[in-house]
Structure 1
Amino acid sequence: MPRGEARWAWLLSDGGEPRNWMLVLAPLLGRHDGGWSGIGWGVFAALFTAVLPTLILRFGERRRYWGDRHVRRRQDRVVAAPGVLASVVTGTALLYGLDAPAEVTALVTAMLAVLLALLVITFFWKVSVHSAVASGALAVLTSVFGPWMFVLTPLVALIGWSRIRLRCHSTCQVTVGALIGAAVGAPVFGLLR
């Protein structure tokens, strides 16, 4: 791969990480649904869906439970999943228990549903979490802010391209990830919103 192309692929892959989507999306939806106080709820949600999972993945990487923060090997993902899921489940329960804004709790619950679907598949096959979260985020944004959010579709496609170009996933794994993110995330969010 040409050096410039590799640089862009890494930038898109790192920028399109699932945690980054949640760091932006949770406070944004919190603001939309709960005003300025909703931003705090969004930050609280991001703590359990982005910050703590990142710390868990870094801890596992340092302890050599898996190879890197992207947890590229399918078998390693099964090992990493319980810690990440525990964080998201705890956050979800706290958001519901503390009566957080509906769009924030719906977002986190939709993320949890997508993660569970991905985990089931991961027992048999590797699928792109980057693509699942990006397409799920686009579906949620479209649901909340309207169809003009489809202008972000090329970004979702570019994130998928980066994962393929970096040889982290096949085209099929990226496509299935994107389909799951939208097909699971959007209805769960819409139902709970």
Structure 2
Amino acid sequence: MTPPPTAPRLARVVAEVFAPAVLVSVVTIAISLASSPTVPAGLLWAVVSAGFCAGFPIWFLARGARAGRWDTHHVRDRKDRLLPLSVALGSVLVGLVLLLAGGAPAVLTGLVLTMLVCLALATVVTRWWKISLHAAIAAGTVAITALTFGSWWWAGFAVVAVVGWSRVVTGDHTVAQVIGGAALGAAFGGGLYSLFL
């Protein structure tokens, strides 16, 4: 069945609104502020964690897309994803080291370590299969948010389903790739992060 003409346009909007960099920024800022003893400290940790986990990686992606190294900041070709994923791994690792050295709250360093592990797993899988990072990060964000702020946030998996739909409708992923991404994000993201609470 062919999707209605507005579906691809709506799917692209959903993919941008719930893009990995957006969700990573939101969850790191929220947990930085919630776990810090003062607002200034929370803002400092928010800048460090969001900057290294989302800011620098998306800058690198956008720069590469403008230079023609890959088609868009979503990097549709699986083989082209390995370099930006490796750069993102390095950036998150630097952020984690800075947080640990600066004495950031344990729950925040646990969050960033969780992101590092999940990103490493996704990078390994990407060598052979184009797993959906949108779905992985959306599912991980919902699990982490629910574990941190309350069980009613589990309802956010409705958003994960919409994000998955958007990636299939745009032709960027198969249903299996979306399900695989969501499973990785929920299981490893939520499971590992829960150890730091």
Contact residue 131 and residue 160 of structure 1 kept, 8 A: yes
TM-score (norm 2): 0.93
Q: Structure 1 segments of 4 or more deviating over 3 A?
A: none
Structure 2, gaps ≥5 residues long: none
- Number of aligned residue pairs: give it: 193
Q: What are the within-5 Å matches in structure 2 for residues 89-104 of structure 1? A: 89-104=93-108
2:33 aligned partner = 31
Instruction: Give the corresponding residue for 1:142.
Output: 146
Describe the SS at the equivalent of 1:192.
coil
Deviation at 1:101, TM superposition (A): 1.5
Per-residue deviation, 1:142: 1.1
Cα deviation, 1:100-135, whole Å, max 9, x if unaligned, reads 122221111111111101011111111000000000
Residues 103-114 of structure 1: pairs in structure 2 closer than 5 A: 103-114=107-118
- Shift in Å at residue 6 of structure 1? 2.0
- 1:146-180 deviations in whole A, cap 9, x for unaligned? 21111211111100100011110000000000000
Which residue is equivalent to 1:4? 6
How high is the TM-score relative to the length of structure 1? 0.95
Q: Distance in 2 between matches of 1:15 and 1:103?
A: 26
Per-residue deviation at 1:63? 2.5
Q: Which moved more, 1:80-89 or 1:132-141?
A: 80-89
Q: Percent same amino acid at aligned positions?
A: 34
CA RMSD of aligned residues (A): 1.3
| Residues 38, 101 of structure 1: 8 Å contact kept | no
C-alpha deviation, 1:3, in angstroms: 3.0
Match of 2:54 in 1: 50
Structure 1: gaps spanning 5 or more residues: none
